Structure 1
């Protein structure tokens, strides 16, 4: 992932995307909304989703012009707005080492700031990019809502299946990765087959990203995560890594788990084959992602996109194994 973000062409594009994000973020007539968005946008993040938009455009022969830059900024606004809503639903007080908007401003203001970001992304897409891109982004907001809703219906359900978990994370996470690649392909005037292939690649990588994020929630420390470890357990989200090792801890799961109970579940999971099983699952997704890629004539971009899934798996696998062993 770092190689993708360090690519000179993508890094240059991301600087323009960042400037565009800040212009869109400060466009409310209400200073309080602008200040709230400025806080969450300025809190950091790797900007991986807009980087995929830029990489897709470049890979399909289109230099990132104003339309591509704006489309990438809209993707990131949707992502950031959805994080505000996630924090609100989880009653989270910290993300990336800083206080959440709902913790500082209250639920109501956080809600409307998240809404503003989603709406602003849609407005910018339809007025400054194109109707097809706006349609892709509107559809993905629907999927984000549906995926998050599906997760809430499975909370604290010890009978949750792997298929149910995958369906939820496809909507709440992988769909936006798919859209990130698809809008880049649309802006590049790619063929229908190229659009479909890049969309499939983005979705498979998005699944890998979320599954590994869920794995780190069960293996990494609070300091590494920037939020409490085992937070999914406390919220009743029985993620795919947990389901792959469920027999080890199912009888310990439930509502109102004490900190000691959470620590015991984490200890047992880290001692199980959970990490290896999760990495194996992600390796299969990576193979599917690579099989989906269209022919890319630019050697550098081909290498970056082909190498991204396995490089990210190796990076997180090393961290997960190290922290689990410790």
Structure 2
């Protein structure tokens, strides 16, 4: 008989136990994994911002499924194997569609690109050339340093003659830029020279739109504090307030948010914007990406497709999107 039934040829490892009564702990673990997938916001953010930490790596919770199935087989537990179907089905419903390739390119008016170029990039010229070759209409960069900025200006200028830089973030455009100004997303405890947000108006053939570039603070996992996202969350709230005050209907937001789209810390922004979401598109770290923390978002415009580009000299991968205005 099969391993799921107990008979004379399939003895129980504990007297009175069968394949349906063994593995209750494993079954409970599978149900818990399913609950975390379905309702991650039930995990509180105190202490240690554990909820945000779970949401940051939510797609990777699917790795629990093969582990649970393997343990169920070893334990010869039909109950545990059946319970493992729950997180498997939930993961498939939430993320399975991202495994399939995108269809042919849809009609669009604008191609935009976002890249944290890294302040210790050993080859800014090579990175700039790679970005210029993409043909993007708008290129947003973060972690610009005084030493590397002239390199990006020189390489990008032929195809993107219009640009603006505020602090460590910049925007290059094929089309004229007007009304460029800083956007204050500085956490209260940050230094006076901390400047990572800008806003400009791009005058495209399809009409004007507001373009924001933002670089939210990094997060850290440290003991005993846990997932340190306080500065990032404060900066996200400030960015959300700036977007709420924006008078133009059409808005494009580009940046390194140090946050995934599942992370509740980005709610002040996501409540107002539509993210370009297709596939997993992991962008960090460049060598073996495990999370997408670089994003393109729109308001009163439609992101029709998005993708990540090959690694440059940065620890992030570039993210591009096509937008229908």
Fold shared, TM-score > 0.5 on shorter chain: no
More helix by share: 1
Larger radius of gyration: 2
